[in-house]
Structure 1
Amino acid sequence: MTNSKSKLKFTTLFSLAILCWIAADLTFTASFIQGSSAQAQEKAEEAESPKGKTSGLEHALRQRRGDFDKEEEIEVKLPEHKAVISPETFRMIEMIEKKNRELKKKEEELKVKEQQLQALEQKVRQELREINLALAKSERQIGIKNEQVAQNIESLIKVYSSMKPEEAANILEAVDEELAIQIITGMKAQIAGQVLSQLNVKIAKAISERMVGKGEVKDKTAP
């Protein structure tokens, strides 16, 4: 973006310099034409005056005698009318104008892309804010849910601990293995051992292996 502006500034200054040079050329040509015209008019007035006529007669006599002084001859020629601006200058101006148009077009395209990027960035930030809010809400909900689950498991541990080992074992054989492990792990060591001894051998073995992976049953004492 900065390079495009610098190029545009340089091209504009270069164009102004070309135009100033052309204006100076035109001013010089006009001054030269005016001076030549004034000189021609002055010579014409001298020729029309009596003195001028006498001088003309003298010049004619000298020419007849072959004694005409060529240095006194003043020939006034008006400059030929020619094109003030050359084709090369025209081509240069056209090239500069073309470059200016191209730079302006690129600058406009860059502005459009910049606006699009800003809009996209704003949209992404808004979406990120919404996602963060949703995650925070989910974490709060999960935390509440986990707390409720923990409270429910604590209640189940108390209930199963108050049962006879045979009754607790029969029910635990029917529940989910993960839940059974959480309940037995939360029991006092003595009660947990009694319940495990009443479970089916395969179920007791699987639960015991899972409990070893999660840590040994805590040795809780009665309050």
Structure 2
Amino acid sequence: MRLFPIIILITISVIAIKTFSIIFDQNPIVSGIQSVQAAEGDTDAPEMTDEVKAEMDKNVALEEAKQAEREANPVDDGVDILLRDKAQRGTTEFFSDTEIQLLQSLKKRRDMLDDRQRKVDVQAKLLKAAEQQLDRKIARLEALEAAIKEKLGEVNEKEAGRFSSLVKTYETMKPKEAALILSVLDLTIMEKIARSMSTKKLAPVLAKMDIKAARALTIRLAQPPVEFTMDKIALPPAAQTNVELPQLNLE
């Protein structure tokens, strides 16, 4: 019985609170929850001002400009580019002193190899020119030899014709007269005329010749004739020219 008044009091209080909320259109519990949520939302996501937006746009624009410059000007490879980059930066951020010395040494070595190759090319051209000059000289000598042989052939034909006429003259002479003239001639000419005469014409002439001349002529006729060839021509001594070929100097 003592609890009954208390229950009635609580019921009346709840009814009064609901009536008050309906009248003023406000729920204290819901309003408290909404206030807490609004406070938390303001703490997690503060309102973005115009200055913050401008700073973000500026950073994005700078990054895009750097990317475009990298794409437009790619970094080249090579020793020269690395050394130039090192000199422009003025720092050992990317290459140490040992690496720089190694790169410079490699560059000097490459320059030495290029210079040696140029020298080899020049020497090869000099050798080629000397070879061509020797070929031209050999060709001129061969042409001169052919011309000499041709002239000698013509001379031999003319001499053979004149000598045949001379032999016929001795053959038509009387043996005593022919023997008298042949006895005083040079032994070589005497031998040549005697070899060209027929045996029938030579026998009476030889019988009328001087005994010493006849003896010498007989000895020469017993030997084989000496033929006149190119080897018998005594050429003048050639002038000694010191022709030095270019030497390869690769040092």
TM-score by length of structure 2 reads 0.52
What is the alpha-carbon distance in structure 2 between the residues aligned to residue 86 and residue 197 of structure 1?
Answer: 116
SS of residue paired to 1:214: coil
Q: Which has the larger radius of gyration?
A: 2
What is the alpha-carbon distance in structure 2 between the residues aligned to residue 94 and residue 144 of structure 1?
Answer: 76
What is the alpha-carbon distance in structure 1 between the residues aligned to residue 130 and residue 94 of structure 2?
Answer: 54
Q: 2:203 aligns with which of 193, 209, 223?
A: 193
Determine if contact 1:160/1:168 at 8 Å carries over to the other structure: yes
- 1:84-95 alignment, distance < 5 Å: 84-95=94-105
Q: 1:155 aligns with which of 161, 165, 181?
A: 165
Change (3 A) 1:196 1:82: closer
Deviation at 1:106, TM superposition (A): 0.9
TM-score by length of structure 1 reads 0.58
Determine if contact 2:191/2:221 at 8 Å carries over to the other structure: yes
Deviations 1:145-186 (A, max 9, x none): 111121122111100000011111121123222221121112
Q: Does 1:210 align with 2:224?
A: no
Structure 2, unmatched stretches of 5+, are 1-76, 226-251
Match of 1:99 in 2: 109
Over the residues paired in the alignment, what is the CA RMSD in angstroms? 2.7
Q: Does 1:181 align with 2:223?
A: no
Change (3 A) 1:82 1:147: closer
Q: 2:121 aligns with which of 106, 111, 118?
A: 111
Q: Does 1:123 align with 2:133?
A: yes
Higher share in helix: 1
Deviation at 1:17, TM superposition (A): 7.3
Deviation at 1:193, TM superposition (A): 1.3
Identity fraction in percent: 24
Deviations 1:11-53 (A, max 9, x none): xxxxx67789x79xx9xxxxxxxxxxxxxxxxxxxxxxxxxxx
Structure 1, unmatched stretches of 5+, are 1-15, 27-80, 216-223
Deviations 1:93-127 (A, max 9, x none): 12211111111111111111111112111211111
User: What code does the residue aligned with 2:159 have?
Assistant: V
